Chains A and B, each alone.
Chain A
């Protein structure tokens, strides 16, 4: 009895006055950080739900003023946005499938300690992180392959990220013990059967991590589309958003012309709506997939 009481009191050493002041500042700091991160998001979401006149007059600063869905009505009728959404969906789903398949098929053999040459290949893959040919030579290769202005340009040239190969390899090394390979070999299982019936069922966590990382980078990327795509009907959402939001150009034919011309206000409001529309899919998914990202990051950071 006596000893447990002592233990408990040991765990709860009273904070000194100095420590309590210190903790106060820590909470204060975190609350300030929280507000700084949240405020821009809240402001933009509120503006997007406000009346166009209130937005242009600068009345919105925290909560929606004269709640209206006018901006979203116009945004979601814009054919450019719809095309962008559909394209981004194609690139994200297609790209992730291709990327995950290629990465796993490359990383699993490289994780095997009994595969001759695996370390040299691994070095060559890692080296691409240290040194690259650069923008222009890569562009020339894509051009020579005839991929410019085709969907393949967004699916293939960035299909495998060396980081993801390293992560996947580290995962396979730790998740699939050598004894398992030996046991399966003794039972007459060949490498492909082993991959299908042992490795694959065990690697669902890493497949989830890889798929999410590839999907987010596909969804969020605009640079490759800027480099390789010219046709408007192939452009992913991010490039469409860039054209409207940052370059301030709208394809006058496809934008709702009367609304645009008549109302500068609506154009202002549209920007807020577009920012929301463009980031909603990823941010809605984020709380559910966060742990996979943390996991992927931590697998990748194990040294050695």
Chain B
């Protein structure tokens, strides 16, 4: 999924560029619009359902996020409710849960990044190294497959394997003479379970992008290095890695940019009252406060804070990446 975003960023880039060009030729601006509309009214017409979708389900929610600054009441609606200023933001920042949420969210993301980012690269390089054949295709097929397992099933599998009573992990521990461990009941275990089950599920999928990038490297480079007597490790270090570096940088930017957006679905399912100390993250907190406790304004404020921080992170990381490396390294 992440790789698609790189495309998204470049759309952003081209759209911004386009606007700049458009303002320079202001005179033909209106004329061009009219002419285009008259010629292609059918194309504009078929876009209407899709545009309405984005208006209703993306842009209206964006504007009604204003309830973060209001005392929202169902009766008065989004725009009729009285203003509350930064009350809910202050409430959130001064709440002791704030630091726990930030710590858990950042902790899970950083752990995922440190472990989950290099493994697909290593996997892709290894797969690229071996001969084409059944083993290679089979390994790719098998490692890619967990991507298609739903979050519910993945979490269920994790729980079954780690179950203190039935789980095969604990049966193994018992066979070694250890006491069974209730892994999901120990807060310190939660980040590991979250991250490694994610590695299990997504590494094969993420490796596909790197494999494609590796396949795009000119084979002559590898051959030349080989003839010059380079060992396989040297070829990987000096040909393969530089060749896929642009892809690595882009994916790294995207990952760092979404540090504060840990996915709701899996964390929520893995959560239980025993591990809540490390498993409560911003998105699960928003869900509980907002929909279970019906505190809409407060939950929206927390969510808005999260969205804004994410956007700032992404923009910052992107510009840093552009400054420290070649001009083409960034997303836009």
Is B161 in contact with A106, judged by CB distance below 8 angstroms?
Answer: no
Is B58 in contact with A40, judged by CB distance below 8 angstroms?
Answer: no
A191 part of interface (Cβ distance < 8 Å): yes
Complex Cα–Cα for A282 and B51 (A): 31
The smallest beta-carbon distance between B195 and chain A, in angstroms, is: 15
Residues of chain B within 8 A of A29, CB atoms compared? 122, 126
Complex Cα–Cα for A22 and B230 (A): 13
Complex Cα–Cα for A246 and B60 (A): 34
The smallest beta-carbon distance between B148 and chain A, in angstroms, is: 5
Fill in one digit per residue for A218-257: 1 if any B CB lies within 8 Å of its CB, else 0.
Answer: 0111110001000000000011011001100000000000
Out of A26, A103, A112, A272, name the residue touching B160 (CB < 8 Å).
A272
Residues of chain B within 8 A of A239, CB atoms compared? 152
Count, chain B residues at interface, CB 8 A: 105
B1 part of interface (Cβ distance < 8 Å): yes
Is A128 in contact with B54, judged by CB distance below 8 angstroms?
Answer: yes
Complex Cα–Cα for A58 and B165 (A): 9
Complex Cα–Cα for A182 and B299 (A): 52
Out of A18, A43, A156, name the residue touching B231 (CB < 8 Å).
A18
B5 part of interface (Cβ distance < 8 Å): yes
Is B250 in contact with A303, judged by CB distance below 8 angstroms?
Answer: yes
Residue of A nearest to B44 (CB): A109
| CB-CB under 8 A for A22 and B171, given A133-B61, A241-B156 | no
A115 part of interface (Cβ distance < 8 Å): yes
Is B43 in contact with A275, judged by CB distance below 8 angstroms?
Answer: no
- The secondary-structure label for the interface of chain B is helix
Is B3 in contact with A301, judged by CB distance below 8 angstroms?
Answer: yes
Out of B53, B144, B208, B291, name the residue touching A159 (CB < 8 Å).
B53
A34 part of interface (Cβ distance < 8 Å): yes
- The secondary-structure label for the interface of chain A is helix
The smallest beta-carbon distance between A259 and chain B, in angstroms, is: 18
Is B152 in contact with A105, judged by CB distance below 8 angstroms?
Answer: no
Chain A residues touching B, range: 35 or more
B76 part of interface (Cβ distance < 8 Å): no
Residues of chain B within 8 A of A136, CB atoms compared? 67, 286, 290-291, 296, 299-300, 303
The smallest beta-carbon distance between B260 and chain A, in angstroms, is: 13
Is A135 in contact with B303, judged by CB distance below 8 angstroms?
Answer: yes
Is A30 in contact with B300, judged by CB distance below 8 angstroms?
Answer: no
Which stretch, A65-73, A74-82, A117-125, touches the partner chain B? A117-125
Out of A58, A117, A278, name the residue touching B166 (CB < 8 Å).
A58
Residues of chain A within 8 A of B11, CB atoms compared? 122-123, 125-126, 166
Is B150 in contact with A120, judged by CB distance below 8 angstroms?
Answer: no
The smallest beta-carbon distance between A196 and chain B, in angstroms, is: 11
Residues of chain B within 8 A of A15, CB atoms compared? 232
A83 part of interface (Cβ distance < 8 Å): no
New contact pairs (10) apart from A132-B58, A134-B306, A238-B150, CB-CB < 8 Å: A33-B139, A37-B204, A61-B168, A103-B50, A108-B46, A115-B44, A136-B290, A137-B67, A190-B42, A245-B159
Q: Closest 8 interchain pairs by CB?
A: A106-B50, A123-B15, A133-B61, A134-B303, A116-B36, A220-B150, A137-B61, A300-B4
**7 pairs across A/B with beta carbons < 8 Å?**
A33-B143, A61-B168, A105-B50, A135-B283, A271-B160, A290-B141, A301-B4
Q: Chain A: residues with CB nearer than 8 A to chain B?
A: 10, 13, 15-16, 18-19, 22-23, 26-27, 29-30, 33-34, 36-38, 40, 43-44, 55-56, 58, 60-61, 102-103, 105-106, 108-110, 112, 114-117, 119-141, 145, 156-157, 159-160, 162-163, 165-167, 170, 190-192, 195, 216, 219-223, 227, 238-239, 241-242, 245-246, 268, 271-272, 274-275, 278-279, 282-283, 286-287, 290, 294, 297-298, 300-304
